[in-house]
């Protein structure tokens, strides 16, 4: 924004200066007018970069609304647009350590003595909010018209205070039945491990002191227009579950039925579908109550063992419950490398550690994370109780499983590129990952994959094995 204001300021200055020279020197006047035009052209291009996508999304939505293809309460997705801007609101960004104000230490990663007074481990981080929730279903969600083909139904959620997004944004894919298209459900029964993208069990962590903090749920669809082939994303409404009452007391853990509103989270009194108006008479409201869109969600407190793992994570984070143990191992490895093993804590040189170097890329590909989860679950079942109590042993086992599952897949050329809401690509990736993991089980390691001429991998790059602290750290913001 500062760049755009600078262009305006330069243009105005050029105009004033040129007006003063108009009568005295025509050549100088012409040169300054040319400079003014250049500034205005830069400003025009900057405005196009800033608002072009938003304008196109808004225009497409207005066209669909005027045609009656979508209800008047639908909007371009607010959270999807934030995810497209970069990795600021992605999980991998919030998992990185935050430097303190002095930039000489970490704000959210500390080393501490264990209860035995000898061994060291990551200091647990107690926060104001540490909860689990289960997203059950969404009811009475309007169905788009026949001119649109819906590729994905999903819910994106984050922490929110009606002014700004306070956390990363996580997406849960919904399932639905043709006989009941207005009902979205989550966590379907599947054979084997449930894909994290479909898992409605999630966690939230926040140490924010904002009094009106809560969970923002945005219902969305990814669609393609049958006539033009244009693909886009729409918000089908949003719901907000406040985590504290007006007195600042935490809301009780129970199941909540939350009303779904139309428009964006920054708009008020917008209905998803004005056909079922809430402004009807009292009798009409009672009749229409069951036809209003609602979201069913259950708040829970984590068990003690899960709470201990959650306390290893950053102060502000949301995500699927099935990721908690994997993220906990990552933070422990991060603390080992950055706090325990470095001789000089002020040294910011590249660090040789393939797990830390590639974990951020892994979090961008949920199906590979699911493969890692599957392999770790199988390995953990074979461990003895004494081994599970040994923290160093468990970390090393996790690293071994990582090298034999996720690491080779991240740089495989044979694995199709991940594409959102593309069933063909998603099925192909799942099939390839499942076959790779099965061969790894049979061979006992992934070494065969790295050496086999049948498997093509990307050309080696030093970034695959080196962790760049300054390049991956998350800058401290007001949200922290």
**Does residue 262 sit in the same domain as residue 153?**
yes
Reduced to 3 states (helix: H, G, I; strand: E, B; else coil), residue 72 is: coil
Looking from the CA of 462 toward its CB, the CA atoms found within 13 Å total: 4
Q: Examine the domain organization and report whether 434 and 357 are in the same domain.
A: yes
Cα(445)–Cα(366) distance, integer angstroms: 22
- 270 occurs within a structural domain: yes
Q: How many domains does the chain have?
A: 3
Tell me the range of 122-131, 200-209, 287-296 where mean pLDDT is highest. 200-209
Bridge-based pairing of strands 170-173 and 214-225 is: unpaired
Render 151-181 in DSSP notation, one character per residue. EEEEEEEEEE-SSSB-S--EEEE-EEETTEE
Domain stops at, among 268, 301, 320:
320
Question: Whole-angstrom Cα distance, residue 359 to residue 451?
Answer: 22
Task: Assess whether 276 and 215 both reside in one domain.
Answer: yes
243 and 346 both lie in a single domain:
no
Q: Are residues 336 and 251 in the same domain?
A: no
Q: Does 56 fall in a domain?
A: no
Q: Which tens digits make up the pLDDT trace of 257-267? A: 999 999 999 99
Chain segment 458-479, per-residue pLDDT in tens: 888 998 999 988 777 654 443 4
| pLDDT at residue 121, rounded to an integer | 77
Q: Across residues 90-101, what is the average pLDDT?
A: 91
308 & 343 share domain = no
CB atoms within 10 A of CB 76: 22
Same domain, 289 and 338: no
Q: Same structural domain for residues 89 and 161? A: yes
Q: Pairing state of beta strands 466-467 and 351-352?
A: antiparallel
Give yes or no: residues 316 and 350 share one domain.
no
Instruction: Report DSSP state, residue 252.
Output: P
Q: Tokens 């708009």 — which residue? A: 267
**Domain match, 143 and 85 both:** yes
pLDDT digits (tens, 9 = 90+) for 397-438: 999 999 999 999 999 999 999 999 999 999 999 999 999 999
Assess if residue 67 is contained within a domain. no
pLDDT at 58: 58
Residues written for the chain? 480
**Dihedral angle sign, alpha carbons of residues 50, 56, 59, 65:** negative
Bridge partners, residue 88, by sequence: none
Same domain, 234 and 362: no
The H-assigned helical ranges of 279-345 are 282-288, 304-310, 324-335
- Distances in Å between the Cα of 328 and the Cα atoms of 36, 115, 322, 394 are 55, 19, 11, 11
Predicted confidence at residue 38, as pLDDT, reads 45
Residue 59 falls inside a structural domain:
no
Domain CATH for 158:
2.60.40.150
Residue 57 lies in a domain: no
Burial of 454 (0-12, 13-18, 19+ CB in 10 A): exposed
Helix axis angle for 26-66 and 2-21, nearest 10°, is 140
Task: Determine the structural domain holding residue 445 and report its residue range.
Answer: 321-478
Q: Are residues 361 and 280 in the same domain?
A: no
């Amino acid at each position: 924004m500062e760049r755009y204001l600078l262009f305006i300021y330069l243009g105005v200055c050029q105009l004033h200066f040129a007006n003063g020279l108009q009568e005295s020197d025509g050549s100088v006047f012409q040169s300054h007018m040319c400079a003014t035009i250049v500034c205005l052209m830069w400003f025009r291009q900057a405005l196009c970069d800033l608002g072009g996508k938003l304008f196109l999304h808004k225009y497409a939505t207005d066209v669909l609304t005027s045609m009656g293809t979508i209800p008047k309460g639908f909007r371009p997705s607010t959270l999807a647009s934030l995810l497209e801007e970069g990795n600021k609101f992605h999980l991998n960004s919030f998992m990185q350590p935050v430097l303190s104000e002095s930039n000489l230490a970490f704000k959210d990663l500390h080393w501490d003595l264990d209860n035995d007074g000898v061994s060291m481990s990551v200091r647990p981080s107690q926060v104001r909010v540490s909860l689990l929730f289960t997203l059950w279903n969404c009811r009475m969600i309007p169905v788009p018209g026949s001119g649109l083909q819906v590729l994905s139904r999903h819910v994106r959620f984050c922490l929110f205070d009606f002014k700004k997004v306070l956390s990363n944004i996580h997406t849960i894919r919904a399932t639905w039945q043709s006989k009941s298209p207005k009902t979205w459900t989550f966590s379907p029964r599947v054979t084997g491990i449930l894909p994290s993208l479909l898992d409605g069990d999630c966690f939230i962590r926040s140490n924010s002191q904002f009094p009106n903090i809560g969970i923002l749920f945005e219902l969305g669809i990814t669609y393609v227009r049958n006539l033009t082939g244009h693909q886009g994303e729409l918000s089908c409404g949003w719901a907000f579950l406040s985590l504290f009452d007006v007195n600042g007391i935490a809301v009780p853990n129970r199941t909540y039925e939350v009303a779904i509103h139309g428009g964006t989270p920054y708009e008020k009194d917008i209905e998803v579908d004005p056909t079922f108006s809430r402004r009807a008479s009292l009798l009409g409201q009672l009749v229409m109550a069951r036809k209003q869109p609602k979201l069913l969600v259950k708040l829970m407190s984590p068990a003690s063992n899960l709470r201990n793992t959650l306390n290893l994570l950053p102060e502000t984070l949301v995500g699927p419950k099935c990721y908690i143990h994997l993220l906990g191992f990552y933070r422990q490895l991060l603390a080992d490398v950055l706090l325990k093993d470095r001789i000089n804590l002020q040294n910011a040189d590249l660090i040789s550690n393939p797990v830390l170097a590639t974990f951020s890329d892994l979090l961008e590909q949920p199906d590979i994370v699911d493969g890692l989860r599957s392999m770790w679950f199988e390995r953990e079942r074979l461990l003895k109780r004494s081994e599970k109590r040994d923290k160093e042993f468990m970390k090393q086992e996790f690293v071994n499983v990582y090298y034999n599952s996720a690491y080779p897949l991240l740089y495989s050329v044979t694995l199709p590129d991940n594409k959102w809401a593309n069933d063909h690509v998603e099925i192909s990736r799942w099939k390839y990952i499942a076959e790779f993991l099965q061969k790894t089980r049979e061979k006992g390691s992934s070494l065969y994959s790295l050496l086999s001429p049948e498997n093509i991998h990307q050309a080696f790059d030093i970034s695959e094995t080196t962790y760049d602290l300054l390049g991956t750290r998350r800058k401290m913001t007001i949200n922290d």
